[in-house]
Amino acid sequence: MGASGYTGAELLRLLAGHPNFDLKVATGDSMAGESIADLYPSLAASYRDRCFDAYTPEVVDGLDVVFCGLPHGVSMGVIPDIRGKAGHIVDLGSDFRLHDKTLYPQWYGAEHTCPELLDEFVYGLPELFRPKLQGAELIAATGCNAATAIFALTPLLEAGLIDGQGMVVDIVTGVSGAGRPPKANTTFCAVDEDVVAYGLLTHRHTPEIEQALTERTGVATSVLFTPHLAPLNRGIIATCYARPAAGVEPTTEDAIEALQTVYRGEPFMVVSERSPSVKATLGANTVHLTARADPRTGLVMVIATLDNLMKGASGMAVQNANLAVGLPETAGLPTVGVYP
């Protein structure tokens, strides 16, 4: 559902090569009846004569998995109508990520219309919440910005190396994260040769980051989160700063070891001393991470990169679905990026 957007197109690409999933329905109400190949010629070889379908609740009857790639605020009005018609629902939007319904008016500017389902959704960050995702019926996939920060900070919090209060997360993100519909601030002339910070102090991914960090580590957290829009098609790099925990003087070796401890054996996680690059994750369902402890300032820095349309959205959604239906978690998901 919502297959005509960028995350929908990426899902179509992944499903075309998935060894177990077959596409049955691809709704895109703004493009219903239009050719998939005409909108996305990159998909033409796999969807030569396929058109986007119109949505009705009945189109999902009997499906094993439904992916919802809908704009914010739409899923909460749709999912109650389709729940029970399909085996598993993976929502790529933000409608069911927060447990506390009172946070939605504060961070999203509107009341939640379906708060009774908030506690029934499992937060979809596989490497950190895997047991809850196995067999889950309702999954709220993590936001791309939030995922990058959560992956970076969790291991150091869990190891007791950093203070959970006053952490700073600076993110540079690509334009595809704003979606396919044109906006004044995402046209070529607006973004080319420019970098701009946005969502100052109010970005909606802030409570999601804090919630996931606290839920996973048990540490009360507060985050100053600032994203920056850059002239990139896709990709995210998060540079995170934190003070050491009381009585702790972590070294760079301690910080990298904390990352390696949590992500050891994870097929999509790459931890090394290399400074991560956005391009290293292009087209892959991977996260690249490193860390440094600076004795001069007393701060600890963690850096993480991922592809916002892959590990930040559609790739993670497929990974969640694989877990939900009992398939190998890596099925249909590339670990090697595209270069140059």
Token pair 């050719």: residue: 35
Side-chain half-sphere of 319: how many Cα atoms within 13 Å? Answer: 27
- Confidence class for position 258, pLDDT limits 50, 70, 90: very high
CA neighbor of 69 nearest in space, from 7, 13, 140, 139: 7
CA gyration radius for the chain?
19
Residue 304 corresponds to which tokens in the numbers above? 């993480």
User: How confident is the model at residue 176, as a pLDDT?
Assistant: 92
Tell me which of 51, 144, 189, 240 is the catalytic residue.
144
Q: First CA to last CA across the chain, in angstroms?
A: 32
User: How confident is the model at residue 29, as a pLDDT?
Assistant: 85
Residues present in the chain in total: 340
Q: What average pLDDT does this structure show over 46-50?
A: 95
Asked whether the beta carbons of 181 and 39 are under 8 A apart, the reply is: no
Q: What average pLDDT does this structure show over 185-195?
A: 93
Identify whether 144 is a catalytic site residue. Answer: yes
Asked if pLDDT for residue 323 goes beyond 90, the answer is yes
Domains of the chain and CATH, by start: 6-142+311-325 (3.40.50.720), 145-307 (3.30.360.10)
User: How confident is the model at residue 324, as a pLDDT?
Assistant: 98
Model pLDDT for residues 154-184, shown as the tens digit of each residue: 999 999 999 999 999 999 999 998 888 878 8
User: How confident is the model at residue 65, as a pLDDT?
Assistant: 98
Asked whether the beta carbons of 261 and 173 are under 8 A apart, the reply is: no
User: How confident is the model at residue 238, as a pLDDT?
Assistant: 98
- Confidence class for position 102, pLDDT limits 50, 70, 90: very high
Q: Which residues are registered as beta bridge partners of 300? A: 242, 293
Asked if pLDDT for residue 291 goes beyond 90, the answer is yes
